[in-house]
Structure formats: C-alpha cells, structure tokens
Amino acid sequence: MTYEQARTELEQYGQEHLLRFYGELSEAQQEALLAQIDATDFSILRYVKDPHQGLSFGKITPLGAMELPEIEARREEFTQAGLEAIRAGKVAAVLLAGGMGTRLGSSDPKCMYDIGITHPVYIMQRLIENLTEVTDLAGVPVPLFIMTSEKNNDKTVQFMKEHECFGYPADRIRYFIQEMAPAADPDGRVYLEARDRICTSPNGNGGWFQSMKKAGLLDVLHAEGIEWLNIFAVDNVLQRICDPCFVGATIQSGCAAGAKVVRKAFREEKVGAICLEDGRPSVVEYYDMTPELLAANNEKGEPAYNFGVIMNYLFRESELERIVDEILPVHVVEKKIDHIDQNGDPVHPEAPCGVKFEQLVVDMVRELSTCLPFEVVREKEFAPIKNPTGVDSVESARALCLKNGIVL
C-alpha cells in the first residue's frame, strides 16, 4: 500500500491522524505502518456508533440444568463414559489465553501471574495441575491447544519452555494466535501505540475456532480423531479441565455441547444466565434481564434463570465446523488502552479511556443446536482472577484455593 492509498483509506474512516508522525519515520517504519494500515479492518469502527447492530432478542425461555443431585447419582456412570472418550483420544482441551488482562494490570500474560504466598504458584501452573489430575486418572495426556495473541504469544511460549510446561508433555501442546482489531478512543478515533504503529488489541474470545481453522489445526483435529473440545478461560484457577464426569454427561446427553454452570447466589446476581432464545441455547446477560425474567419461577418454585455460565464449555467438533463461518456480533468494550498522545508521549491510563472490539464465546452458544447446562459447585470450581483485589481477584481466588486444600 502506498502513502496515498493509505491516506485515502484512512480519510474514508476519519482516521488520517494515524499518519501524523509519518514524515519523521525511517523508511522501514513507514513501510511497516502502511502494511499495518493495509491489514486493518477499519470498517469495524462503525460499531462505536451502533453498538447493538440492530440486533434484537428472540423469545427467552428457561433451559433446565442437570443439577447436582442427578450428577451425584450418576457420577460413576458419567465418569467412566468420560474417561473412555478421553482414553480413546476423542477429547482435547483449548485454553483461551489471548486476552490482555488489563484489569489485573500486569504487563505479562495473565498465565504468568504468581498467586503463591509462600512459594511461586503461577496461574498456568494451577491450570496444568488441574488438567494433570485428569490425565493421570485416564493414563493418557490430552492434546492441549493454547490460544494466544500477537501481544502475548512469545512470552507465553517462552514461559512454558522455562518451566518445562509444568510437567505436561510438550509434544501434546500446540499454540495458535488469534486475530487483532484496532483500539480507539470513545469517539472511534483509533489510537497510535507508537509513532509507527496503530493500537490493536485481541478481537475477543469468540473467534477461537475460526483462529484454529486459520492456523490449519482442523487437519490436526481430524487426523487425531478429536471429537470434543473443552474450552476454558485462563483466569479460573480452580477450573476442572476435561472433567470426565462433565465429558461423559455431555456425550450421553446427545447434545452438541455442554456448559458448566453455577447456581446464582441470589436472583439479581450479575452473571449471564443460560436460557433458550427462540428455542436455541443462549445466555441472557444480567443487564438484559427484564423484571419479568428476574421474577420468573420454574415448576419447583425456584428462579427460572438460576444458572450462570463460567466459560467452561465442551463443544462437539462437528458442530463447531457447522457454525464456524457464522458472523458473530461485535461488542464494543470499554478498556484501559496504552497509547501515545498528540505529541507522541506515552499514556498509561489508570481507568478505561477507550474502546476495543470483541467477539464473545457467549454469542457462539447462540449458534448451537443444543446444549447441556451442567451444574458445578461454585466454591470448588470457580475462582476467576480479574482484578488485583476485591471481587474476582487474586485475593478471593487465593482464599478459595486455600479452602480447597491447595498449598500456596
């Protein structure tokens, strides 16, 4: 792309300021900036003005979960079915670790964060320990795919090398890199990250299967006979991964997917609740709950929308291939964005100062034909680390780890 072409392209989107420092750059830097402009989809900026994209809800109705008493009664049967699938090599794990973790505030990838008290206990270490419990029981390692972004891939891979993958067989781990999107101020003017680089950010966790496809990994899934993918977030340090009971229950249900869910602590709790939307699985966000939905009861007299998702899903691989090209909505999310100002000086904001554009896994759930909500005990399986202190923090996750007998 030439300078003139870049200018024309940027003018179309009101982004000419991105060439503000062009005249001061070296030839190589100029080329790099033009290449980045060429590769960036600026049309996404239209969502700043139209965050809802004309989307409207379908009819929301309850979707019952498989609850703890039934799971306990059938635990042995489900676990054996799950172990059988794992031993047959049909189940893989996918760690979604491409996020920037801006709320936590560390400049390293979140998986490198040390939550230890008396000795180092890294977030990644906790996840691998949890996965290893299952693979020890099964007697075989499961393939582990790790999604990173161009911002954190090198550090993540290096960190795993340095720690010898925390004992997990390195030849069973594969990395793939997700897509990026521009990051902008609240008016949709894209920030510069440096004089020769526009600000970009990972495009959310919803495009993970697309990114696997782009990375050529579907061939690997087919070659290895992988039929189920268990995706999970990096930040839940009590996460059960490829939990055989969950795997077995989902397979036996005949559903296209399973979603781990926790019972809401109270009706108004701020979690996305699993439901049906026009008869298909969906998640209704807490801010979209109408007073009627909040007050609705099921036949047992309990809240009808009582189970929140925790970003741990088991997807049937063939179902993912069916929906992989569906266009997911783009969410405009307020975040802290490091950038340079008009004078070229770096700005490290303390509070959200702009917007990023993300596709989300919950929107993928809306494309599924069927999904089994599978209840788990919150205190045993849900300790997300989003913030340094307070709710969903290093502090709260540490307390839950200690409660579960994990030495920190």
Chain residues that interact with ligand UTP, rule: CB under 6 A: 96-104, 147, 178, 202-205, 233-235, 335, 358, 386
Shortest approach of ligand UTP to residue 208 CB, angstroms?
7
DSSP 290-333: -HHHHH-B-TTSSBSS-EEEEEEEEEEHHHHHHHTTSPPP-EEE
Shortest approach of ligand UTP to residue 405 CB, angstroms?
24
Q: Smaller CB distance to ligand UTP: residue 78 or 159?
A: 159
Q: Smaller CB distance to ligand UTP: residue 82 or 202?
A: 202
Q: Smaller CB distance to ligand UTP: residue 79 or 230?
A: 230
At 277, which helix (H) or strand (E)?
Answer: strand 273-277
Query: In the complex, which residue's CB is closest to ligand UTP?
Result: 99
Q: Smaller CB distance to ligand UTP: residue 29 or 102?
A: 102
CA distances from 329 to 52, 58, 215, 308, 315 (A): 8, 15, 22, 21, 20
| Residues with Cβ within 8 Å of residue 69, at least 6 apart in sequence | none
As a whole number of angstroms, the distance between CA 202 and CA 190 comes to: 15
Q: Smaller CB distance to ligand UTP: residue 95 or 401?
A: 95
Tell which residue, 132, 87, 128, 325, has the closest CA to residue 225: 87
Q: Smaller CB distance to ligand UTP: residue 319 or 358?
A: 358
Shortest approach of ligand UTP to residue 228 CB, angstroms?
19
Please report, as a single letter, which amino acid is at residue 319. Answer: E
Shortest approach of ligand UTP to residue 203 CB, angstroms?
6
Look at phi and psi of residue 164 and say left if phi exceeds 0, alpha if psi is from -120 to 50, else beta.
left
| Residues with Cβ within 8 Å of residue 178, at least 6 apart in sequence | 98, 147, 148, 149, 202, 203, 207, 208, 211
Please say whether the beta carbons of 121 and 408 come within 8 A.
yes
Shortest approach of ligand UTP to residue 143 CB, angstroms?
18
Q: Smaller CB distance to ligand UTP: residue 14 or 388?
A: 388
Residue 131 CB neighbour total at 10 angstroms: 24
Answer positive or negative: Cα dihedral of 248, 175, 116, 390: negative
Q: Smaller CB distance to ligand UTP: residue 95 or 400?
A: 95
Q: Smaller CB distance to ligand UTP: residue 358 or 375?
A: 358
CA distances from 269 to 51, 244, 282, 302, 382 (A): 24, 29, 18, 15, 15
Shortest approach of ligand UTP to residue 303 CB, angstroms?
25
As a whole number of angstroms, the distance between CA 92 and CA 210 comes to: 16
Shortest approach of ligand UTP to residue 237 CB, angstroms?
12
Shortest approach of ligand UTP to residue 99 CB, angstroms?
2
DSSP 190-220: BPEEETTEE-EEE--STTHHHHHHHTTHHHH
Shortest approach of ligand UTP to residue 328 CB, angstroms?
13
As a whole number of angstroms, the distance between CA 91 and CA 83 comes to: 10
Please say whether the beta carbons of 134 and 241 come within 8 A.
yes
Q: Smaller CB distance to ligand UTP: residue 94 or 138?
A: 94
Shortest approach of ligand UTP to residue 65 CB, angstroms?
22
Give the alpha-carbon dihedral of 15, 21, 27, 29, to 10 degrees. -70
